[in-house]
Amino acid sequence: MKPMLHVALLMSIALAATAAPVLDIGFSAAEGFADGGPLSGTLGMESQSGWSAEDTAGIGYAAGQSAWQRARNLASFSLDVGESVVVETTLRLVDADAAWADVDAFRIGFAELAQHSGANTPSIGSYIHTSTDGSYWFGGAESGSRLSIAATDAGDWIRFTQTITRSATTNEFIGSVSASNLTDQVGLGSALGTWTQNTADGSWGGGMRPSFRVLGNPQSTLLQIDHWTVYTVPATPPPATGEKVVAQVDLTRKRAIGGVSALDRETWFGVYHETGYGRTSFTDGGKTLSFDEWINQEGRMWPSRGTVNFQALAEDPARPSYVAPSAFSAFNSVFDSRYAWAKTKAPEHKTVMSGEGHGKYPAYMCWNPALTHNILTVSNNVAHAEAITRILAQLQSRNGLMPKWFEVMNESSIQSNYGWHWDADAWDKLSEFHWRVADAVHASAFSNIVKVAGPTDAYPFRDDSDGDFSPWQNANRKFIQLAGGKMDAYAIHTYEQMTTNSTGNSSFDDQFSRFEIWHQGRLPAFVDLWENEHHLIHGGTLPFVFSEYGLLSNQNPQGDENAYYQLRSCNGILLSLLDRPDVVDKMSAFLMSQ
């Protein structure tokens, strides 16, 4: 558990003073539910079919197996329009035979007082949906209203909190979900959206009773409930009462440079240029230097990015759509002249290598171009991943400078590089294209040297010009969901775009009026959005690789004024990230030698 600093604050929070308790059960054999009507006034858990109440090592909990159908507590409550009920359930799932089904397994919520605890119990509330990979989610039918629990955490005690508010629309309720992992002692955050549910059974008025139900549970999944708390919250809080609350501050996160007097040059002072490439004569003070040597001498930087393609390599006759193993020797001369030379100059340099894109893949490994907008796009992702690992193995065998980060494709978010854009499932296919390479590199002999990054987004303006965030939902968020668990870092290109003076808008004004400007605060916000999404889905965080950044589309003015705007963009982007040394692993400014 991360060390936390507890800070007592006096705030005008009235929730604790105005919340009305409904029930608070820490389970034991003497407490529980009623199935249908009252059972001689007994609330005993042991009287319920498929249920037992256990006390193990001082921890009491209720265990509901697949035979259980429903259970309802006798406590009741009512809600007026705008009022809410908060349902907190601490639970875990245990599966004896690991044969999880893809099914809505359980539901937790409430039903109207007079309803028998059958098909309508509960009629309002969140679902627990199990998946075949051993994971599950909690929330509503809308995907944005759910919180996902990975298979590795399914057996942890998770406290799910539902806040369900009665809408002004008859029969309608709106619910939101948040959670904490009590086993790992970490917060899991809140679902990004809410769910909306309607019922015609009368649950919108009168009395209501909390309840559980099995919806479909053919596997031997065991639902264990350690604690169940329900309370209501008024629509309008009363005046401030000066309640004391506790704020937690994570002392392990580096949100400032913290007294460090020098920046790591390998991270913050990269330049986009092929590593060891372009040794054109460069005269400085009467001495002839290569570009690489000159920029290192002048700025203590080594060029930090290169691309690779294997378009011309022959097919393996024994394995159609795979590259012939003998064909990879074609890279020897490149590796000897470029990367072996670079290693002699900067053997510990942190560099980036990228798949080139632009359709530069062998046709025998690709989809029919008629399907992919005439861009050669890999269909055999396994063959592509194998080729990448063979290329990297060849580089290692030639004693070349190995990349710290391998980006699966350069700027994979544009159609000229990945031909499935802009089909509806383009990011689904792109995600597999990435994680196949990650799996192959992780299984290689150089897995401790080379890490995999993606998707190297070319234009990650994911709030869009109208601010509706649909590109975020359909692109980066989907990539995080489908590939984030396999990646070692997220890679993006952050170029600022400006108009020319001919539009009537000055370059100076552009920094405040155009949405394609990063350094005025949008970039930290975007990194927060991406980092938060990864944490909610996969837990933890991944570093970021900014393998290209700078200024584009500034044709006018020219000369010194243009150079000023170039430097302002580069410096502004750099400065906006300096307080994140634990998040940013590599930055390479786009400053070509030509």
CA distance 513 to 572: 16
Q: Residue with structure tokens 């893949």?
A: 361
The model's pTM? 0.57
What is the model's pLDDT at position 42? 42
**How much is the pLDDT for 18?**
62
CB of 403 closer than 8 Å to CB of 385 = no
Looking at residue 361, its pLDDT comes to 97
Going by C-alpha positions, the residue among 476, 468, 592 that lies closest to residue 532 is 476
pLDDT digits (tens), the chain, 594 positions: 333 333 333 333 333 446 788 888 877 655 555 444 443 444 444 555 566 667 665 567 777 655 555 666 777 888 888 899 999 999 988 875 556 788 888 889 988 776 655 556 788 999 999 888 888 999 998 888 999 998 888 889 999 999 999 988 888 899 999 999 988 888 888 898 899 998 776 556 678 888 887 776 555 677 888 888 899 988 865 556 666 767 776 656 555 455 555 678 888 888 886 665 555 667 777 788 777 777 777 777 877 888 889 999 999 999 999 999 999 999 988 888 888 888 888 888 899 999 999 999 999 999 999 999 999 999 999 999 999 999 999 999 999 999 999 999 999 999 999 999 989 999 999 999 999 999 999 999 999 999 999 999 998 877 766 677 888 888 999 999 999 999 999 999 998 877 655 455 555 666 666 667 888 888 888 899 999 999 999 999 999 999 999 887 555 556 677 777 788 888 889 988 887 888 899 999 887 554
Q: Tell me how far apart the alpha carbons of residues 68 and 221 are, in angstroms, rounded to a whole number.
A: 11
Task: Name every residue whose Cβ is closer than 8 Å to that of residue 413 and which is 6 or more positions away in sequence.
Answer: 421, 455, 456, 457, 458, 459, 460, 475
- pLDDT at res. 236: 64
pLDDT value at residue 8? 32
Q: What is the pLDDT of residue 281?
A: 62
E-state strands within 96-171: 103-112, 124-130, 136-139, 147-149, 158-166
Q: 3-state DSSP call for residue 142?
A: coil
At 11 the pLDDT is 30
